[in-house]
Amino acid sequence: MVLKEKKDLPLQVLLVVADVILIVISFMAAYFLRYRVPGIHGPGFFIYQKSILIVIPLWIGVSAYFGLYRVRRAWRLSEVIFNSVLAVSVGMVLYLTVSYLVKEFFLSRLLLFFLWGVNIVVTSGFRVVFKSLLVRVRRTGIGIRRILIVGNSPSSRMLSKVINLHPELGYRIIAYLTPEGAGEANGNHGSGDHTIAGEIHEILGNIDELCPDEAIFSIPIGKREEIWGLINSLQKQGVTVRIVPDIYEFFSARMAMEDLEGIPMIKFRPITNQSWERGFKLGLDYLGAIFLLILSSPIVIFVSLKLKAFFKEQGILVAEKVIGQFGHPIDIYRFRIPMKTICSNPSEKSIPTPFGEMLYKYSLTEIPQFYNVLKGELSLVGPRPETPTRVERYSEFHRRRLLIKPGITGLAQVNGLRGFDSSDEKTHFDLKYIEEYSVLLDIRILLQTIWVILKRHKQPTPLFSST
């Protein structure tokens, strides 16, 4: 969710000012590493002042382009580092180009290398610290916007999840309003949610006590007089009103507004990638799968020996039937998970052994699926395939995730969705991936996947499931 507010401007200005200071510090650190540490007599530091003045606007512009000044983002460490490396690297290339054209100064190649490395460290490090401090400040209640969500729909539940997951956004949900006939009053937004249901006049009586700053309507408005009456009453009280459009589920980065003789129309462009993008993705899949198979070969050998000792006469791999691109069934492979039986009265229950829990927790069971990638059935990145039983219950909205080749990891997985998590929520992220696909997005998701897996050592073992 991206809600642009002028109140973010001071934070963005702070980031820009901080970057200017960090660029100067990076130059000083690079100069120190190049000349002072080895004890080499070099030119005075101030000879680089013209160079610094050229670097500053270049780096600020490139950082803005790569979104490093967007406060309203999920600042995962992997994403911050990836964007910082990319922005600093592109900025370095532009800087070298400008310095070649100007020809008024010369920098040591080793100094440039130190400048590149130090700037990446200080840029990403500052943003991680900034986000951490921002979250702490938000949690104290400073700069918080009090939010009402009107309606109980998939979009309202998605809003709830996003706001609760990212306190740095500066929003706090104070209540859910469910006008009579506008949706289910018994939805599960989350534990402890304050839900107000009833007639409009009853709801208005509660709003005075809640003192909201904003209200977000996630229900169809249409020409319903009572809903417009609620909107008007909120506006009279100085509450900002936002409306999630009826076409939320079909909102697409490939949508374009057109008009036919004054009649507004929404055009959906085909979901196709350019030839070079398809070629690059195919190359990334094959080369990446081969590289990761080689890299993980010690783990494969270790896991195979342990499983062979456990299962003895059984195979260590299982093939699961799932639905691939365009609805075609495929078999994906994974390591068999060793189970142990717990005897209880009156039944017996099987649960994973400690080794089986480790395999599942760190997704080591999925390593054989690199073979599926080499067969052309899976991609490294894409919507996670689901079983025929789940796909049978898909709506046409869900079936859009079958338009591309499924993947071993995807945008839904790096956002914490796994196994039996809601298909609605996974589809939201999968469609976002389909619509916004780029080569850089694939690389970013792969890096985030590594980070997500490494963080699982601090988390309890997730609900056991097969997907």
Residue ranges of domains in the chain: 6-139, 145-246, 275-458
Taking 90 as the threshold, does the pLDDT of residue 234 lie above it?
no
CA proximity to 303, closest of 364, 262, 349, 222: 364
CB-based burial label for 317 (10 Å; 0-12, 13-18, 19+): middle
**Higher-confidence residue: 132 or 385?**
385
Work out the pLDDT band at 458, boundaries 50, 70, 90: low
Preceding amide of 346 cis, omega within 30: yes
Which of 8-12, 218-222, 325-329, 349-353 is predicted most confidently?
325-329
Q: What are phi and psi of 18, to 5 degrees?
A: -60, -40
Which fold would CATH assign to domain 145-246? Rossmann fold (3.40.50)
363-412 pLDDT, tens digit each? 899 999 999 999 999 999 999 999 999 899 888 878 888 888 999 999 88
Q: Residue 61 pLDDT more than 80?
A: yes
Distances (CA, A) of 202 to 207, 232, 234, 457: 9, 15, 14, 48
How large is the average pLDDT for residues 128-148?
81
Q: Is pLDDT above 90 for 273?
A: no
Confidence grade of residue 302 (pLDDT, cut at 50, 70, 90): very high
**What pTM was computed for the model?**
0.64
The whole-number pLDDT of residue 192 equals: 44
Q: Please give the share of the chain, as a percent, with pLDDT higher than 90.
A: 19
DSSP per-residue codes, 72-95: SS---HHHHHHHHHHHHHHHHHHH
Residue 375: per-residue pLDDT: 93
Check residues 260 and 324 and name the one with the higher pLDDT: 324
